[in-house]
A and B are shown apart, each in its own frame.
Chain A
Amino acid sequence: MAEEIKVDLELNLKGLLCPLPMVRVSQNIKNVPVGGIIKATATDPGSLADIPSWAKSTGNEILKSERIGPEIIFYIKRIK
């Protein structure tokens, strides 16, 4: 359940096209402490593969992702 995840920072990435959703997440991950969580809401369908790939290659973690209508919501945990 989304309510169970304590979010440190919310990012509105709606309307942004590739690569900007990844760029904004990358920029903002530095703004949460290690262990902190970003909730990012995107509308670019490409981000469904892009954001998890970014997380894997940078050593961060996607706790959960969900699609609600046109919105794609990621809970990203800063690991390092």
Chain B
Amino acid sequence: MTVDKQTEEKLIALLKQKINRQLLYYLDICARCAICRDACHQYVATKDVHYLPAYRAELIRRIYKKYFTRTGRIIPSLYEGKEITDDLLDELYKVTYACTGCRRCMFYCPFSIDTTWVLSVAKTILIAAGKGSPILTELADAAIEKGKNIDLFKGIMLDILKDTERKLQEKVGDPKATIPVEKEDSNLLYVALSGEHTILPAAIIFHQAKENWTLSLFEASNYGYFLGDTAKAKTIAQRIVDEAKRLKVKEVVVTECGHAHRVFKFFYESWAKEKYPFQVSSILEIIHRYLKEGRINLNSKYIKEPVTYHDPCQIGRNYGVFAEPRDIISQVSADFREMNPQREKNWCCGAGGGVVAQPDLDEFRIKTGELKVKQIRQTGAKIVVSPCENCRLQIETLNEKYNLGIRISSIMDLVAYSLLIPREQS
């Protein structure tokens, strides 16, 4: 069914705003060579043409042809132009919100076509048509609501942190160890995820490194980014940027969360049209820095079971951090085994891009995690390490569904545990 005239005009106007050299290049240059077909884990696992990267971009290309080329306007059917209908928007939804944003297709494409970039245009159109992902919208709105009412939640959060602080003191054997919050002039503001599991190991590491740090009141994850709503994504990230400025910290350190780190490192400054007065780093880089500076020392090769490493797409292929996690793991593991392929060519776990939060994609992500399962099995590893919460959630699901018999760990947990071993043994 054709959408109503008013909606159609609104969507065309929106697409017009989005047309720039980059988009035109992507829409024009695709040679339909289909190299990207074998690069996308979703196509490889399902053989469904909808998940072929070039096909996903093709839907935007068809709309563009229909409304912005003379030939497309006159004889759309001949020139593959497609008018905007509900069916087309539904198809666009299916191919867009299923994409994990892993950019493996771009890595293999001879013209470096960034399908996720084209799909960010698709997300803008879908949101304007009232067809953005409902659950990602709810999660983004909840984060914004939390930001507005932070004073309401601060008391509860500080109360919970007291429990975590007690655990920290016990673990490090120091009754004065703290988890500081809102501490001005700290060297770094650590941005964790909701829940204790990303706070306690970091607090142990900071304590051992004698770091002057403070914990952010906000969680790193940004569902506005997955939704494709830049205004919401900016509002969510801004809560942390404002906090960092207010506390006058030198560095914002993002926990093991691939997309959150990418938002702060690559996107926020251009969204907000401002330059940060601080540096942004991943906790991986901080741990690596402490090791190089001798501020922490790991218990060498304490893990005897075989360990493998999953490169999160947003930290590996899309940010370029490959050496640091391998360096850290090799220090604590006596038997480190690489997956094949790895680094830039690593297969996506199957649940990035907000896929893990969309219940209607639960079965799909289990199916499209097949390649990751095969890779893990081939290593024979008993422990899979990955510095991204999203990847770990997915690998845990795969472990359960495919009976992998593995344990999943963050880098922080490996490091924190290693730092505690001498004390716990004594």
Contact = CB atoms under 8 A, between A and B. Distances in A.
Interface in A15-59: 17-20, 22-23, 26-27, 44-50, 52-54, 56-58
B194 A44 contact: yes
B153 A49 contact: yes
A49 to B, nearest CB: 4
Contact of A46 (B149, B195, B357): B195
B23 interface: no
Contacts of A57: 138, 141-142, 144-145
Contacts of A47: 194
Contact of A50 (B146, B389, B393): B146
B357 A49 contact: no
B408 to A, nearest CB: 12
Interface of B: 135, 138-139, 141-146, 149, 153, 156-157, 160, 193-197, 219, 221, 223, 357, 359, 389, 393
Dominant secondary structure of chain B at its interface with chain A? helix
Given A46-B195, A48-B160, A19 B221 contact: yes
Contacts of B197: 17
B156 A17 contact: no
B156 A49 contact: yes
Contacts of A19: 139, 194, 221, 223, 357
A22 B145 CA distance: 14
B270 to A, nearest CB: 26
Can you list the 6 inter-chain pairs with the closest CB atoms, starting with the nearest? A46-B194, A18-B194, A57-B141, A53-B146, A54-B142, A49-B153
A23 B156 contact: no
A48 B196 CA distance: 12
A49 B195 CA distance: 11
Contacts of B139: 19, 22-23, 54
Contacts of B223: 19
Contacts of A49: 146, 153, 156-157, 194
Contacts of B393: 17, 20
Dominant secondary structure of chain A at its interface with chain B? helix
A53 B193 contact: no
Which one of A45, A52, A56 has the greatest number of beta carbons of chain B within 10 Å? Answer: A45
Contacts of A45: 160, 194-196
B389 A17 contact: yes
Contacts of A58: 138, 141-142
A35 B404 CA distance: 43
A20 B219 CA distance: 14
Interface string A54-68: 101110000000000
Contacts of B146: 49-50, 53
A56 B195 contact: no
A45 B145 CA distance: 17
Contacts of B194: 17-19, 44-47, 49-50
22 contacts: A17-B193, A17-B194, A17-B197, A18-B194, A18-B219, A19-B194, A19-B221, A19-B223, A22-B138, A23-B357, A27-B359, A44-B195, A46-B195, A48-B156, A48-B160, A49-B153, A49-B156, A49-B157, A50-B142, A53-B153, A54-B139, A54-B145
A56 B145 contact: yes
A22 B153 contact: no
A33 to B, nearest CB: 20
Contacts of A44: 194-195
A20 B223 CA distance: 13
B297 to A, nearest CB: 30
A22 B219 contact: no
Contacts of B142: 22, 50, 53-54, 57-58
A62 to B, nearest CB: 12
Contacts of A23: 135, 139, 357, 359
B195 A17 contact: yes
B409 to A, nearest CB: 14
Contacts of A26: 135, 138
